[in-house]
Structure 1
Amino acid sequence: MQAKDSWVILLILAVAAIWLYIRVKRQQGDLPLYRSVPRHDEILVASEEALELIEEAGYGWIAGKVKIPITVTLDGTTLESRLFADGFVEKDRQWFVVKFARERKPIDMTGSGLREHLLVYSLLYPEAAGVLYVDVAGRSIRTVQFEIEL
C-alpha cells in the first residue's frame, strides 16, 4: 500500500465517522429538524390549561408566543405591523405552529375561513408539518395542513 492510498482510506473513514455522528445525534433528538423556530427555556402561553391540553395530546413545547415583525411599504411609505404565533410544538419528529382559538375572533371551519386566518403561518414556516388550531374552552386540537397547487 502506498502513502496516498493511506490518505484516501483515512479520508473515507473521517467522512464515515462524521456521517455516523450526525445520524446518531438526529436520532437522539439533539440536532433539531427545524432551524427557524426560536427556542425558549420558559414557555409562555395564555394559560396553564392551554399548556396542559397540548401536552396531554402528546406534543412537546419548543417555544411559546412569538412576535413576528412585518414591515410594509405602501407607495413609498413604511408601515410597521406584526403577527403572533402562539407557540411551536413537536410530536413524532415533526413540528407545528400553534394558534389558539379566540372568542372575539372565531374562525369558520371552512376552506376559506382557515385559509384567511392560518395559511400565513404555513407560508412563513414551510418546513412545519402544519398548524395546530387549539380551542382550550372546547378542549379540542385541530391539525390544519395546506397543499398549494401551482
Structure 2
Amino acid sequence: MRTGDSFVILLLIAVLVIWFYARGRKWYDKPRAALAIPRQDELYLPSEEAVMLLNARGYEIVAGKHKLPVTMTMDDQLLESRIFVDAYVMDDEDRFYVVKLARERMPLEMTGSAIRERLLVYSLLYPEAAGVLYVDPAIGSIRKITFEVERTK
C-alpha cells in the first residue's frame, strides 16, 4: 500500500459519512404525508337531502362517511377516539373538499372560535383540501370554510 492510498480511503469514508448524514437528515426533516382521500365503491351517505343539495351546487361525491381512528396517550394511559368525516367531494374545477353535516343535537354557532374548534381539524388532516363544506340540509345551505394559519417567526 502506498502512502497516498490511506489518505484516499479516509477521504472516501468521510465523503460517504457526510452523504449518508445529509440523506438521513433530508428524510427525517421531510414533512409527513397527509391522509389520503378514501375512494369507495359503495358510498354510505348519511343524508339524501345533503347529497341532492351538493349535487345541485355542482359537487361530485367521491367518498362517503369515513371513520378515522385516533389514539392518544395521556400520562402513559392509552386513550382511543374517532373523527368522522361525512363525505368527500370534488367541484367542477377538481378541487377537493371535506364535508361536515349540521347536526340538530350539536348546532354550530357561526362564530370564528366555534368554527375553528369544530372544523379546523379537518383542514389540518387534509391540507390539500380546498376547504371544508358545512352542509345544513334542513335549511338548504352549504357554507364553504377555509382556514389560513399565520405562522410566527
Runs (4+) of structure 1 exceeding 3 A deviation are none
Identical counterparts, % of pairs = 56
Instruction: Provide structure 2 residue ranges, at least 5 long, that are not aligned to the other structure.
Output: 1-33
Match of 1:89 in 2: 89
Structure possessing the higher radius of gyration over alpha carbons: 2
Match of 1:37 in 2: 37
Match of 1:133 in 2: 134
Closer, same or farther in 2 for the Cα pair 1:112/1:35, shift >3 Å?
A: closer
Q: CA RMSD in A?
A: 1.3
Q: Kindly provide the CA deviation profile for residues 41-63 of structure 1, in whole angstroms up to 9, marking residues without a partner as x.
A: 22211122111111111000110
Aligned pairs (5 A) from 1:1-150: 36-91=36-91, 92-150=93-151
> Partners of 1:79 and 1:72 in 2: how far apart?
5
118-127 vs 44-53, greater mean Cα deviation: 44-53
**Count of equivalent residues:** 117
Closer, same or farther in 2 for the Cα pair 1:35/1:108, shift >3 Å?
A: closer
User: Amino acid of the residue matched to residue 136 of structure 1?
Assistant: P
- Contact kept, 8 Å, 2:72 with 2:80, in 1: the verdict is yes
Q: Shift of residue 69 of structure 1?
A: 0.3
46-55 vs 102-111, greater mean Cα deviation: 46-55
User: Amino acid of the residue matched to residue 128 of structure 2?
Assistant: E
